[in-house]
Each structure stands twice: as C-alpha cells, then as structure tokens.
Amino acid sequence: MSDVKKVVLAYSGGLDTSVILKWLQETYHCEVVTFTADIGQGEEVEPARAKAEAMGIKEIYIEDLREEFARDYVYPMFRANALYEGEYRLGTSIARPLIAKRLVEIAKATGADAISHGATGKGNDQVRFELGAYALMPDVKIIAPWREWDLLSREKLMKYAEEHGIPVDFAKQSKKSPYSMDANLLHISYEGDLLEDPWSEPEEEGMWRWTVSPEKAPDQPTYVELTFEQGDIVAIDGQPMSPATVMEHLNKVGGANGIGRDDLVENRYVGMKSRGCYETPAGAIMLKAHRAMESLTLDREAMHLKDELMPRYAKLIYNGYWWSPERKMLQVAIDESQKVVNGVVRMKLYKGNVIIAGRKSETDSLFDEKIATFEDDAGAYDQKDAGGFIKLNALRLRIGAKRGR
C-alpha cells in the first residue's frame, strides 16, 4: 500500500465516495485528487467541491461532460441500434468509458499513480471502469475499496462517517430512496429493495422520477419531427440542437408522455442475474426513430448485417470493452453505413407508446413508389420474373424433398 503516492477518486460527494475518500487517506496514507462529472444526472455537482475541500483535498476536478457524453458515446452507440439482451438500452454501461477516460487523463495530468472508484465487487461497473482504465493506462494501479474493506452495509458506512467526522448530510441520507440509482442523460436506473423480488411490481409513486405513468399521460398525442444527418439526430421540429440538447428535450417530452419505462432481468458479466428498472425516454424515442430512418435509406443486406452485428456490439459495451480493438473495428463499419441515413422521421408519442407517423429522405430514400405500388406500375417491375426467382431458390428444397429430407 505504501507504493501509492497519489490517487484520483471518482467522487460524487455522497456517503459512499465520501467514506472512500477518508478511507484512502487513512489506509493508503496517500494524496487524493477528486473528480466529479456532470453527465446529466440532474443533480448539482458543484457542492462536491466544498465537501472535498472540507476533507483537505487540494486538487479538485469538477467537469461538465454532457455534450461529450452524448456526442462521443451515446450517439455512436445508437448508430448501431444497440440493445443488450434485446431490451436494455445500456444507459449505465455507456457512461463508464467516459469516466474511466477522464480518471486516467487526470491521473496523468496530476502525476497520480492510481485511480479509485466506488463500484461494488458484485456488479458490472467495476469491470467497466477497470477495463477502460487498463486499456488507456496499462500500468495504472486501481483501488476498489468494496473489494478490500469490511464496510459492507449502509449502517457501517454511516457509522464510519460519524466516527471520522465526514461531512455527510445525515438528515438527507436518512430520507434517501431505498433504491440503488444511477442517472445520466440517457437514463436513470433503480435496483435493490423490493425490486430484488422479480415478482414484485415497481411502486408507482415512490420510485419513478422522470416519467409519468402511461395511465396519467395526456389524452392527446404529442408529435415531434427528428432530423437525421449520417445517423445522428441534429434537429427537432426543424430547430438545430446539439446532441446533449436533443437528449434533454426528448427526455422531457418523452417523460411527460409516459415513455421509456423498462423492467428487466439481465445477466451481469460477473455471472449473476439482476433485476432492474430503467427510465430512458430519450433513448426509447431515438432508437425507434433511427430504425425508421434506416428502414428507408439502408440497403437490405447492409441493414441485415448491422442487425447481426448489433448483439455482439451491445455485449461489448455492456461488459466494458468500449476501448477494445473489436469495438473500434465494428464502429468503423457501423459509421460507414450511416453516411446515407439522412432525412426526417415524424414521431407520435402517446401514453407510453412511441409510434412512427412518417419518414422521408429527399436525398437517400431507396423506396421507389413506382415499383412498390399495388396499382399499375407501368412496367417498372416485371412480375413474371418472380417465377424463375422462386424456382431457383426452391431447387435445393425440391431435391431434398425427393430424397426424403
């Protein structure tokens, strides 16, 4: 432990990371640098500065990373239509590579030889943080307190904080939600408490933060038009917006219409199954709209190949391999496919439903009305050609049938 001179801690200012800060000072006798990121969690991050200063911290980093998060992580991921196990929109997973990158960059800038995080030894986040850090700084030392200490309950953490004079708002902590939550621009997640029973229905009033229930959503639908350029949403209702602004707007309008609630049981990378609930209003709208835009502009086989690659791509992100060679290679292929994904999608948002109300592309649509029509196509498509096409494709089936296969 004595070989650690300085450590960069991913610090929120809450109970867990405040205890970790003090524990690092006492256990490793090292200098601590704190890093607090605003990635759209909806809470003030600046108060973390005063808390860190009260604990004697000299080097404090507080950064607004919302645009970088949306532009360089969420948008590239959604070009792939990424869903883990067919449902999870990877809200927590995609934030970890950015935090790991900044931890390493700050470590290099401050001369630190270690980084630390507050992820537990049971979850995925420890893997994501550490794989990212090792990929970017191979010789970095990583301190994961939850794998070292015996403060394995909320009560023990509170007692440690009291005994060591750690500035934690105990009144606020006592009123804290019983759920373990993580929030950013893409989602807010809930785990623990009654959700540990997969049969229990989530409580309607005491848990959800961003969305109204579909039953209480407006009786009139809301329409939005999303403009795509090379697979990315660049404007809403004709108004140009930055990636983070797009997501903030869609979270607001989607949440007001009861959109984006998910209740999932997923397979963690460490081997256990975990039940979690998620609110992803912007994510639900963006993914549905993106697929609609691709349906009009992407070649059939390019689209199908993307769909085959997507589960592997999503699994890489979920398991923490954002910085891996294989994810980067897949990203190049995905981004190449998006050059033609340009146009506008009209969305109808109604009581928890995301409905495609129209799509158009003036420059890249592959939809040919003259060929697709059920009316007279004036010779644009010779229907007689289909007979030979079918017989050739049926040849192996006919031969097999004659052999009794």
327-350: per-residue pLDDT in tens? 999 999 999 999 999 999 999 999
- Sign, CA dihedral 278-281-286-289, equals positive
Q: Are residues 166 and 206 in the same domain?
A: no
Q: How many CB atoms lie within 10 A of CB 301?
A: 8
Task: Write down the catalytic residue from 38, 125, 232, 327.
Answer: 125
Q: Are residues 149 and 129 in the same domain?
A: yes
pLDDT value of position 405: 86
Do the domain assignments include residue 391?
A: yes
158-174 average pLDDT score? 77
Task: Write down the catalytic residue from 180, 295, 324, 365.
Answer: 180
Verify whether residue 365 is a known catalytic residue.
Answer: no
Residue 88 CA to residue 279 CA, distance in Å, equals 11
pLDDT value of position 144: 97
Helices (H), 111-151: 125-136
> Nearest-CA neighbor of 268 among 144, 151, 130, 121?
121
Q: Are residues 11 and 158 in the same domain?
A: yes
81-106 average pLDDT score? 98
29-41 average pLDDT score? 96
Residue 353 CA to residue 191 CA, distance in Å, equals 24
Domain that includes residue 384, residue range: 369-402
Confidence band for 376, pLDDT divided at 50, 70 and 90: confident
Helices (H), 70-195: 75-79, 96-110, 125-136, 154-163, 170-174
- Single-letter amino acid code for the residue at 389: F
Whole-number Cα distances in Å, 255 to 92, 249, 354: 18, 10, 12
Q: Are residues 98 and 203 in the same domain?
A: no
Query: How many folded domains does the chain comprise?
Result: 3
Q: Are residues 10 and 137 in the same domain?
A: yes
Do the domain assignments include residue 203?
A: yes
Verify whether residue 16 is a known catalytic residue.
Answer: yes
Helices (H) and strands (E) in the chain, counts: 14, 14
Task: Write down the catalytic residue from 16, 189, 261, 359.
Answer: 16
Write the DSSP symbol of residue 160: H
User: Could you give phi then psi for residue 132, rounded to 5 degrees?
Assistant: -65, -45
The pTM score is 0.94
Residue 311 has pLDDT above 90, yes or no: yes
Residue 226 CA to residue 289 CA, distance in Å, equals 8
Q: Are residues 166 and 208 in the same domain?
A: no
Verify whether residue 96 is a known catalytic residue.
Answer: yes
Q: Are residues 270 and 350 in the same domain?
A: yes
82-102 average pLDDT score? 97
Do the domain assignments include residue 385?
A: yes
Do the domain assignments include residue 393?
A: yes
Q: If 0-12 CB within 10 Å is exposed, 13-18 middle and 19+ buried, where does residue 378 land?
A: exposed
Domain boundary among 133, 156, 176: 176
Alpha-carbon dihedral 13, 18, 22, 25, rounded to 10 degrees: -50
Q: How many CB atoms lie within 10 A of CB 37?
A: 25
pLDDT value of position 43: 86
Please name the helix (run of DSSP H) or strand (run of DSSP E) that holds residue 267, with its range, or none. strand 261-267
Verify whether residue 180 is a known catalytic residue.
Answer: yes
> Nearest-CA neighbor of 269 among 121, 100, 147?
121
pLDDT value of position 378: 85
Domain boundary among 176, 210, 231: 176
Write the DSSP symbol of residue 398: H
Do the domain assignments include residue 81?
A: no
Residue 356 CA to residue 131 CA, distance in Å, equals 38
Task: Write down the catalytic residue from 66, 79, 96, 359.
Answer: 96
Q: Are residues 356 and 241 in the same domain?
A: yes
Strand-pairing partners, residue 344, are 227, 360
Q: Are residues 45 and 107 in the same domain?
A: yes
- CATH number for the domain harbouring residue 13: 3.40.50.620
Percent of the chain with pLDDT over 70: 98
Do the domain assignments include residue 152?
A: yes
Do the domain assignments include residue 45?
A: yes
pLDDT value of position 44: 85
Q: Are residues 268 and 397 in the same domain?
A: no
